[in-house]
A and B are shown apart, each in its own frame.
Chain A
Amino acid sequence: MTDPTTGRVVIVTGGSRGLGAGIVQSYLDSGDRVATCARSRTDEVARWESEAADRFLFQEVDLADRAACASFVKAVVERWGGVDVLVNNAGVARDGVIALADDDDVDTVVDLNLKGTLQMTKLVVRRMLSGGHGHIVNISSIVGLSGYRGLVVYSATKAALDGMTRALARELGSRGITVNSVAPGYLRTEMSHGLDEDQLDQIVRRTPAGRLGEPADIARVVQFLTAPGQDYLTGQVIVADGGLTA
């Protein structure tokens, strides 16, 4: 049984389903203490609360709500004393061409993907500064690099996260805090549900690895970037897409 007083303290935003859930599971498997937040509770969250109660914390939080973000981070620090790893995973997409985009949908995507991530990062960086170390990973996307028809706003926010990664790495490097992005390709999660089977088949055909990605593929990269002693690789965008954009 894992000692609940040891292991890194890890925050994963949006960890109740999909890629986020895969990352949460990975850190629980590596013996760490994991806090995650999402807008709604899932069966996966209930399972973790039951199976890893002393190493798992969940709060229902809308990242666009600054006060809720602050309350969540405060709860983590009060329970475990600090934060070692932040994985900014939470994100939302609204598909459709920009010319027909609903203004509220644009706000929703920007508020959560970008402003919410900046707010969470600010709160956690304050804790990491006082701790003198830390790892931050921003989950961006290959569409932030290549673009994708019908995902203009989402692509814009993901490209912005990569810019944030580079700036933050420069800002925090002297304090032993690394900041990197992981840009996944197309995964078999809810986020790819906007694509029909023909589109997914076409993506698989064009992918050297010959398959869609799985959350575990990305979690392995995140674990590598946040491994203890990994203090030199920073400010980078690591593309994990099975070679699709190679």
Chain B
Amino acid sequence: MSSETTTVRQTVSDFLVRVKKGRDDLPDDLALFGDGLALDSLEAAELSVVLEDTYGRDPFSAGGDLPQTVGDVLAFYEAATTP
């Protein structure tokens, strides 16, 4: 696990605490929506802004498929840092 992945996971975790959906663990296969974290669309937009502010870009605004799981979010940044 890269340090970037750890940092992004912590950013997501901090955001979830702020919107009162904090959890002890955030496994990669945990869904962002529905039965997983149950983010609504505006919360997803807020997470998008938090990630953009922190890392300069975010997977929700990148133009591809929207991330569906925590792992999708992490993979976006892993792909960005992979040489």
Contacts and interface: CB of A to CB of B under 8 A. Distances in A.
Contact of B50 (A130, A172, A174, A175): A130
Contacts of A174: 42
B75 interface: no
Interface footprint category on B: under 10
Contacts, number: 17
Interface in A54-97: none
Interface string A123-137: 001110110000000
Question: Mostly helix, strand, loop or mixed at chain B's interface?
Answer: helix
Question: Mostly helix, strand, loop or mixed at chain A's interface?
Answer: helix
Interface residues of A, number: 9
A52 to B, nearest CB: 28
A126 B42 contact: no
Contacts of B46: 129-130
A130 B53 CA distance: 11
Contacts of A125: 45
B42 A130 contact: no
B48 interface: yes
Contacts of B49: 126-127, 129-130
Interface in A146-179: 171-172, 174-175
Contacts of B48: 126
Instruction: Give the interface centre of A129, A172, A174 by most chain B CB atoms within 10 Å.
Output: A129
Interface of A: 125-127, 129-130, 171-172, 174-175
